[in-house]
Amino acid sequence: MIILPQRFYQDRPDNVARKLLGKILVRIYIGQRLSGMIVETEAYFGPEDPASRARRGGNLARVMASQPGIALVYGIHRQWLLNVVAHPPGGVGAILIRAIQPLEGIDVMKRLRKVNDLRQLTNGPGKLTRALAVDKSFHGKPLYSKETGLWIEDYMNVPVSKVARSGRIGVTEDLEEPYRFYIVDNPFVSVKKR
DNA sequence: CGCCAGATTGACT
DNA sequence: GTCAATCTGGCGG
């Protein structure tokens, strides 16, 4: 298993969002491996992006401009959402991990989520953080190291023919270009759209 | 400290 | 399809 190195995230957010499809998100929870393959992501940019938290300033904007490869966790509607900071040197940006396909520790994840249906386990940004017991304590911690018990491993490269794009979900004001990436026909993608 | 919008989810018509 | 629970973070006072 190879943990994605920090330089993996030193690229434009849309490139990193695309590259993260097919990689594995791993969480060590009470000594056990919980994991899933990333099947859906969204790229967020700097202040020029109307849907980006970077526009609002404050701590989140600072973190989005800091070290690529660190986690950005923030709360909305009582859920935690997991992002990875990604941008070229001097840039601003982050990737929202919107859905994973469960691989390891499924029973534990079901217990944490209080659901039995595999399809419903991690097919949404708030659902997967709950299933992996990811919370604010990971905010600002590196995802390119085993230290914190949360990281992303290399796994497979998804061929271009299996990647689809759409506008970002749930945002009130989006950019012209579609910045949501997902694996075609994967049953764990959160919502169908266009 | 109060206000309030929001990258959601799940329950319900 | 609609809708509200529920809470974080930013900002104004």
Q: What is the DSSP string of A136-179?
A: GGGTT-BSSSSTTSEEEE---PPPGGGEEEEPPTT-SS--SS--
Q: What pLDDT is stored for residue A3 in this prediction?
A: 98
Rounded to 5 degrees, φ, ψ at A118 are -60, -40
Proximity of residue A56 CB to strand C below 7 A = yes
Proximity of residue A75 CB to strand B below 7 A = yes
Q: How far apart are CA A183 and CA A194, in angstroms?
A: 14
Q: How far apart are CA A65 and CA A75, in angstroms?
A: 19
- Which residues of A in 116-145 have their CB below 7 Å from strand B's atoms? 120, 124-127
Q: What pLDDT is stored for residue A1 in this prediction?
A: 83
Proximity of residue A77 CB to strand C below 7 A = yes
Give, as ranges, the nucleotides of chain C with any atom within 7 Å of a protein CB. Answer: 5-11
Q: What pLDDT is stored for residue A193 in this prediction?
A: 67
Low-confidence stretches of chain A (pLDDT < 50) are: none
Predicted TM-score of the model (pTM): 0.95
Q: Which amino acid is at A59?
A: N
pLDDT in tens, A26-51: 999 999 999 999 999 999 999 999 99
User: What tokens appear for A35 in the block?
Assistant: 């994991």
Q: What pLDDT is stored for residue A105 in this prediction?
A: 97
Nucleotide nearest residue A60, measured CA to C1': C9
Helix ranges (DSSP H) in chain A: 13-20, 58-64, 106-113, 125-131
Give, as ranges, the nucleotides of chain B with any atom within 7 Å of a protein CB. Answer: 5-10
- Which residues of A in 2-61 have their CB below 7 Å from strand B's atoms? 42, 44, 51-53
Q: What pLDDT is stored for residue A184 in this prediction?
A: 96
